[in-house]
């Protein structure tokens, strides 16, 4: 999503909705890393965490990274949001995905995985911006600037689909196989929310696919397990051996 000016500290409607949703879900039922991620991003948006930048300062673009070496934006852009409703929808999505994956993977593994997915999504955004500029000669791909957690959420969506196999999913009122749902959501959001970042969402899907369906996921699992001392257990180890099944 396009960046906005830093808002004044205080509650906004989206923050109230998010707090209500979290309480209805049960604060004690939200896994710790997921709860911490929601809290930090909410407090950051509300201006209650003091940082030396505004959202527009840290939006990510291929130009800012490749030409200006703006590594702060490379890291921070995924955790800023452009509006209270942008934050609300992203955090509710994170609540559901985190509550499913974190107990399965373990809190430490999940927290580190979120960090790696964030860096992967930023890298993919820069790559896609550069590649699409070269292919289409449209410089807008090179300069397009975005913030938000959506790319990481799309990566997590792919991982959830990988774990759940072929459970039907509702997308825009239509029931579709889960393996197609993330692509349907990509198109639907692009059509219904013109201000959203198509490149960012696509990048998140590709990062999720790299984790789930290639050797990259095996390397990541091995390294995370070495660091935390707990193996990452998937629902179906054979299914998870990185094959996209149609």
Please give the positions annotated as active site.
Answer: 150, 201
Question: 174-193: b or e for each residue (b if 16 or more CB lie within 10 Å)?
Answer: eebebbebbeebbeebeeee
* Residue with the two structure tokens 């029931």: 175
Q: Is 175 helix (H, G, I), strand (E, B) or coil?
A: strand
What distance in Å separates the CA atoms of residue 242 and residue 158, rounded to the nearest whole number?
Answer: 12
Q: What string of DSSP letters covers 39-54?
A: HHHHHHHHT-S--S--
Is-contact 225 231, C-beta < 8 A? Answer: yes
Sequence-distant (≥ 6) Cβ neighbours of residue 246 within 8 angstroms: 179
């Amino acid at each position: 999503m396009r960046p906005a000016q830093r808002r004044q500290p205080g509650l906004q409607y989206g923050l109230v909705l998010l707090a209500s949703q979290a309480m209805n879900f049960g604060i004690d039922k939200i896994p710790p890393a997921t709860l911490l991620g929601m809290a930090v991003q909410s407090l950051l948006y509300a201006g209650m965490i003091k940082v030396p930048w505004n959202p527009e300062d840290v939006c990510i673009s291929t130009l800012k990274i490749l030409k200006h070496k703006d590594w702060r934006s490379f890291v921070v852009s995924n955790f800023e949001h452009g509006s209270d409703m942008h934050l609300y929808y992203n955090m509710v999505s994170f609540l559901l995905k985190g509550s499913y994956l974190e107990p399965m993977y373990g809190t430490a593994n999940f927290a580190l995985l979120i960090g790696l997915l964030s860096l992967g999504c930023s890298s993919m955004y820069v790559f896609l911006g550069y590649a699409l500029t070269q292919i289409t000669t449209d410089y807008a791909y090179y300069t397009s600037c975005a913030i938000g957690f959506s790319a990481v959420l799309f990566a997590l969506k792919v991982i959830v689909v990988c774990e759940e196999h072929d459970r039907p999913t509702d997308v825009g009122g239509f029931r579709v196989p889960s393996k197609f749902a993330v692509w349907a959501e990509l198109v639907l959001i692009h059509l219904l929310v013109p201000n959203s970042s198509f490149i960012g969402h696509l990048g998140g899907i590709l990062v999720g696919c790299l984790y789930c369906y290639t050797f990259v996921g095996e390397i990541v699992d091995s390294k995370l397990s070495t660091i935390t001392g707990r193996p990452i257990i998937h629902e179906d180890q054979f299914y998870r051996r990185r094959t996209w099944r149609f």
